[in-house]
Amino acid sequence: MNKTTGKRPVRRRLSKAALLRVKIAAIGLSVVAFFGGLAGVVIANPATHSANLARSASQPAIIAQQPAIQPPTDFQPQLGGAPLVMPTQPQMPFLRPLTRSRGS
């Protein structure tokens, strides 16, 4: 009850169709927010993003050879204490190693 006018407030009801549209919009927004956030996290991580891009662009055959067990990812290359600059792309992508120095 409104104390100044003494009138009962008018309560507006949404039609069923309008309510359905609101629900659909809410679900849509949730989905977009979820996947958008996920993509943002991936792109915001430059190491993951650049590594993924470089890997997919340059080394598909090597990736296919890799076993399911993932290696440690905390390698920190150094050159006598200074950061090591190495080629990120194979110099000759079509030339594959025929053998390996596997250690003895």
Partner 1 sequence: MDEQRKVMNLYKRSFGCMTTEIELFLESAEPQPAKEALARIEQFFRSVEARFSRFLPDSELSRLNDARGGQVSVSPELSELMQLALTAAQTSHGIFDPTIIDALEAAGYDRSIDQIREQGTQVRAPSRSIRPGRWRKIHLDAQAHTVTLPADLRLDLGGIGKGWAADRAAAMLQPLGAGLVNAGGDLRAWGDQLDAEPGQGWVVAVDDPFWPGGDLAWMWVKEGALATSTTARRRWLGGHHLVDPRTGRPAETDLVSASVSAPTTVQAEVAAKVVLILGSQDGLAWLAAQPGLEALLVTNDSQIVSTPGIPARLAWIRQGAIAQAEWA
Which residue ranges make up the site for partner 1 (CB under 8 A)? 46-48, 50-51, 54-55, 58-59, 62, 65-67, 69, 71-80, 83-92, 94-104
For partner 1, give the closer residue by CB, 9 or 83: 83
Report the alpha-carbon distance of residue 61 to residue 96 in Å, rounded: 9
Nearest to 48 by CA among 34, 61, 38: 38
Three-state secondary structure call for residue 82? strand
> Could you tell me the smallest distance in angstroms from the CB atom of residue 25 to partner 1?
39
> Could you tell me the smallest distance in angstroms from the CB atom of residue 45 to partner 1?
9
Three-state secondary structure call for residue 64? helix
Place of tokens 């407030």: 9
For partner 1, give the closer residue by CB, 23 or 96: 96
> Could you tell me the smallest distance in angstroms from the CB atom of residue 68 to partner 1?
11
For partner 1, give the closer residue by CB, 6 or 81: 81
Give the strand pairing for 82-83 and 78-79: antiparallel
